[in-house]
Amino acid sequence: MSGLDKRVYEIHGKVMNMFMGNQCYDVDPPLVMDCVKNALSDIGLNVKEIMFFDIDGNVTQDINNAKYMRVVATSNGINGRQIFTFALIKYRGKYKVLYLQSAVYED
């Protein structure tokens, strides 16, 4: 495993563990984006873009219609964009953000 591979594995593993645990759990709708952005920033990622998608994969601006969230981030030492996909689970008017998958798109 190269140094870059190991670094990506470590960062993406941290993200998975955070969001499969209690990170961004029981969050009010207007705070979901901030919660995710702050959590990723805390481990050294710079969030560049956040998009919401409905159940059919169409982009939506309204979190109440969103089922998925895609976050594009960068970090020092890793060339390219890191892409994270999360599921948004709504329960009693609050959200839980769950990790689904991640990838690196090299520039």
Output the CA angle 22-50-99, nearest 5 degrees: 30
Every domain of the chain and the residues it spans: 3-105
d(CA 2, CA 20): 26
Q: Per-residue pLDDT tens for 79-107? A: 889 999 999 999 999 999 999 999 998 87
Tokens, residue 82? 């890191």
Nearest alpha carbon to residue 27 among 89, 98, 94:
94
- DSSP letter at 26 equals S
What's the CATH class of domain 3-105? alpha beta
pTM score: 0.92
Q: Per-residue pLDDT tens for 10-28? A: 999 999 999 999 899 999 9
